[in-house]
Amino acid sequence: MTAPGTLLSVARTLDRCTVLGPGPRAVVWVQGCPLRCAGCVAAETLPFEGGTTVPVPELARHLGALTEVEGVTLSGGEPFTQAEALAELLDAVREERPGFTAMAYSGFRHERLRRGTPGQRALLDRLDLLVDGPYVAARHAALRWRGSSNQRLLALTGRYAEEVARVLAEDDTTAGVELSVGADGSFSWAGVPPVPGFREGFEEQLMARGLLPRPDGRKG
Ligand code: SF4
């Protein structure tokens, strides 16, 4: 029997998304965040318990085979609590696809991560784009790929530098949210909500139409 290798705790994955970073991207939401931003849109990803434990090589193979996407966005949860495993994940995907791009969200500021653990610095060194800082509900804004105006969109390599400069200078508006239908017919959504409280209202509408099960399992 072979060892599973490094493990990641994952809340959810999406094979294709066009509203969480440039171009079509896969998304990996990790499980667990030490912060508690009021109004966090991903409350189910905050506990470190739960999630699905996934071997890094298995997830790398899955991402590498997604030929329609140009990269992955790491969200959560807090990606930098599993930074070493995520750095290993990016290295593994790039063995087969050297041009595979990486973007990440973090509730921590870039400067703090640069002074962080070796794993956090390793992950930063492998990212093309970072959205940093906690979500601040009082500063909610309909910005490209960010939830509140304190959060920065930082190009860490030249890969998206021109696009980031253009967005910030001319086109810094919400990318909206995107609905996906799974192979089993289930609905899910992804994106940065353009208005506070969006998630509750949107999910209520989906539940009323029977497109999302209610927490008690009822439909409609
Ligand atoms: S850092 Fe992100 S995931 Fe963590 S509580 Fe804040 S908004 Fe939620």
pLDDT digits 0-9 by tens, 58-71: 999 999 999 999 99
Average pLDDT over residues 104-122: 98
Nearest ligand 1 atom to the CA of 33 is 4
Whether the predicted pLDDT of 3 surpasses 60: no
Q: Which residue has the tokens 């239908």?
A: 181
Kindly state whether residue 32 falls inside one of the protein's structural domains: yes
Angle of helix 118-125 versus helix 83-96 axis, rounded to 10: 30
CA–centroid distance, residue 95 to ligand 1 (Å): 31
Angle at 188 between CA 180 and CA 196, to 5 degrees: 115
For residues 216 and 149, the model is more confident at 149
Average pLDDT over residues 129-140: 97
Structural tokens at position 220: 């409609």
- Looking up residue 82, the CATH number of its domain turns out to be 3.20.20.70
Kindly state whether residue 179 falls inside one of the protein's structural domains: no
Characterize the bridge pairing of strands 177-181 and 152-155: unpaired
Kindly state whether residue 182 falls inside one of the protein's structural domains: no
| Residue 76: closest CA among 114, 54, 49, 46 | 46
Cα–Cα dist 213/96, whole Å = 39
Kindly state whether residue 187 falls inside one of the protein's structural domains: no
Q: Whose CA is nearest to atom 1 of ligand 1?
A: 107
Kindly state whether residue 209 falls inside one of the protein's structural domains: no
Amino acid found at 39: G
Cα–Cα dist 75/103, whole Å = 9
What's the whole-model pTM score? 0.94
Does ligand 1 have an atom closer than 6 angstroms to the CB of 133?
no
